[in-house]
Structure 1
Amino acid sequence: MDDRIRAHAETLVDWSARVEPGDEVVMRVAEGAHDLAVAVAAELGARGATLLATYGSDEVQRAYLRAYDGDFAPAEAERALYDRADVYLSLGGGRNTTATADVPGETQSAYARAREDAREARFATDWVSTVHPTRSLAQAAGMSYEAYRDFVYDAVLRDWEALAAEMGQLKEVLDDGREVHLVNEGTDLTLDIGGRTAVNSAASVTYDSHNLPSGEVFTAPAGAEGEVTFDVPITVKGRRLRDAHLVFEDGSVVDFAAVEGGDALADLLDTDEGATRLGELGVGMNRGITRPTDTVLFDEKMAGTVHLALGRAYDACLPAGESGNESAIHTDLITRMDEGSRLVVDGETIQRDGLFRWEDGFAG
């Protein structure tokens, strides 16, 4: 076994999930993540945790969804599983990144709505998602398998404490701020962030961070006005979405278009009322992620990008007792913040041309 797989597993269990003896751990294993699952199981066993491994397959889900006829019942058994769990680990890495492309969008949306209670129970655990490098993911990224493995481990095996300290600077700015203004080609968007708490997403539940790799600072906008263009292509529910353009008024999407995947975007927005509003503003800061790969877990953390999520807001960003945007989806759309771009907080430019004000080369 590649030593980097063991290092990945150790980082996931120790730094990210902070697993303790006696923890009840549910681990979802995708078809291609077997080697990482073996390494994680060894780490969990060494720490005295209790493990239940489940099989997560997009091909299995496709078969089920295409055959099902009728209304979906709530996922009560799945919810009960998460209600009992202390930790949930998702090890991604399937055989086919577009396995569910021929499942009707309305079916996928209805299925998501039926599983909303189960999803909320999962979010109540110390949950962490990660990805094991597979040939299908390498192909989706347009990379050789060997190069893709190097890319993944460069993103995952980082000095997370040092990155957390750097990202803390942006967290302070956003915590104190009231308004964010994003300016770029095809983008002129103003976001209300007053009273919200930013998350320093340093790949550990200690930081309210649930992805490995991570490397972003995110918050939950209370409102949005203007337009934004997302120039990083992504795959949404098995369908390609490229150059999506959204127009917001009074916090909601009032117009949209896409060069490719307009039907997929329409299905997302039609999920429920909350799907037309923003649940997240995230700023990527992981410089180990150097290019898009069509895997949102990596792409949204790429330094020099901003992502906005349609749908559900995370409770960690909200004032006590306040309910944020609610939806059955949380779908990230990504735009590059490169030459000609600005990220402005309360009139002060914090990032220009992809560089923050504390970085060498920043031109205020």
Structure 2
Amino acid sequence: MDGRVREHAEVLVDWSARVEAGDDVVVSVAEDAHELGVAVAEALGERGANVTTLYGSSEVSRAYLKGVETRVEEETGEGETDAVDADDFDSDPAVDRAIFEAADAYLRIGGGRNTTATAGVDGDTRRAYATARKGAREARMDTDWVSTVHPTRSLAQQAGMAYEEYREFVYDAVLRDWEALADEMARMKDILDSGEEVRVVTERDDAPDTDVTMSIAGRTAVNSAASVAYDSHNLPSGEVFSAPYDTEGEVFFDVPMTIDATRVRNVRLAFEGGEVVDFSAEAGEDALADVLDTDPGARRLGELGIGMNRGIDRFTDSILFDEKMGDTVHLAVGRAYDACLPEGESGNDSAVHVDMITDVSGDSRMAVDGEVVQRNGTFRWEEGFAAEAE
């Protein structure tokens, strides 16, 4: 076994999830993530934790959802079809909720055989399933959960990289000096915590402009340093995020992404009164529409994220990596994270949380309360920051 696999497992168990002796840990392992799953199980055993293992297969999920579609079609009569809705699933089956309600931590190890395994499943079906499992999802998110990925050939292919090259990329992003990065990101957190309004502007000759403002007053930014101790749940991480509201303006997302196994590219969202009132996409517009139609909260922002992990140096069509990349800003429609909200206050609620990314490495600026804090991807405390546009 490559020594970096064991190091990855140790970072996940110790730094990220902070697992202690006696903890009940649920580990979901994707089809081709077996090697990292083995290393994680060994690390958990050495620390005295209790382990329950799940098989996290997108191909199995697709088969189940297609089976539901077949059942619903047959029930409506031969030759007829009907959209699947949440009533076609049991709402939060007891076994789903129970396993997460009893868990102290949940570790999701991604790395499937096919990154588009759920292609062909109707958007209504995916949306209905997400709605029906909302309670189980909330129970899972109440644990010390962390999501990571094992470098696989399917992910390398999706990223357009040789397998060996992709492994180097993943470990450069994961095996970081997380304490040092946390200290740097704390600067951005302090700015957002004391701010009331964020404005992001891009002005490029080869793409539509972005000019969007959003309120962050009363919110608490999360220093997402890849550890539950920082209210951070992804490994790798390396972003600072908040829960914006009262969004106005237009955003152009120029970083391609995959939504529900569908390639989506060049998305434009227009906001009025905090809500998406118009949208378009050069590719994958139907998948984007499915997301926005999930529920009322899916047309409002749940997250503003600022990428700060410079160990991630290219786009890979994986949101786990791409949204953390330095020189990027991402916005997510849908659910807001409780960690950003005042105690007792509910933020934007939705069954979905879908991130979209814009490149701010050039011809861009981000201002908080009118003061530019990042220009062309460089933060004001970094060498080369230009206080004024050239």
Distance 1:338 1:146 in 2: 27
Instruction: Say whether residues 1:352 and 2:375 are aligned partners.
Output: yes
Deviation at 1:280, TM superposition (A): 0.2
Deviation at 1:85, TM superposition (A): 0.1
What pairs up with 1:4-43 in 2 under 5 angstroms? 4-43=4-43
RMSD: 0.6
Deviation at 1:338, TM superposition (A): 1.4
Distance 2:166 2:96 in 1: 33
Deviation at 1:74, TM superposition (A): 1.6
Q: Which amino acid aligns with 1:202?
A: A
Instruction: Say whether residues 1:73 and 2:90 are aligned partners.
Output: yes
What pairs up with 1:66-215 in 2 under 5 angstroms? 66-68=66-68, 69-70=71-72, 71-76=88-93, 77-185=95-203, 186-215=209-238
Deviation at 1:72, TM superposition (A): 1.1
Gaps of 5+ in 1: none
Deviation at 1:223, TM superposition (A): 1.7
Q: Which amino acid aligns with 1:111?
A: Y
What pairs up with 1:191-340 in 2 under 5 angstroms? 191-340=214-363
Q: Which amino acid aligns with 1:271?
A: T
CA offset digits 1:187-214 (Å, max 9, x no partner): 1000100000000000000000000000
Distance 1:207 1:94 in 2: 28
Distance 2:90 2:250 in 1: 37
Which structure 1 residue ranges, 4+ long, deviate > 3 Å from structure 2?
none
Aligned equivalent of 1:57:
57
CA offset digits 1:278-324 (Å, max 9, x no partner): 00000000000001101100000000000101100000000111000
Number of paired residues?
364
Aligned residues with identical type, % of pairs: 67
Distance 1:230 1:94 in 2: 26
Q: Which amino acid aligns with 1:228?
A: V
Is the partner of 2:125 in helix, strand or coil?
A: helix
Distance 2:303 2:12 in 1: 24
State TM-score, norm by structure 1.
0.99
Gaps of 5+ in 2: 73-87, 204-208
CA offset digits 1:24-53 (Å, max 9, x no partner): 000000001000000000000000000001
CA offset digits 1:258-294 (Å, max 9, x no partner): 0000000000001000000000000000000001101
Is the partner of 1:197 in helix, strand or coil?
A: coil
Distance 1:75 1:237 in 2: 21
Is the partner of 1:129 in helix, strand or coil?
A: strand
Distance 1:300 1:2 in 2: 27
Deviation at 1:75, TM superposition (A): 2.8
Larger radius of gyration: 2
Distance 2:313 2:165 in 1: 12
State TM-score, norm by structure 2.
0.93
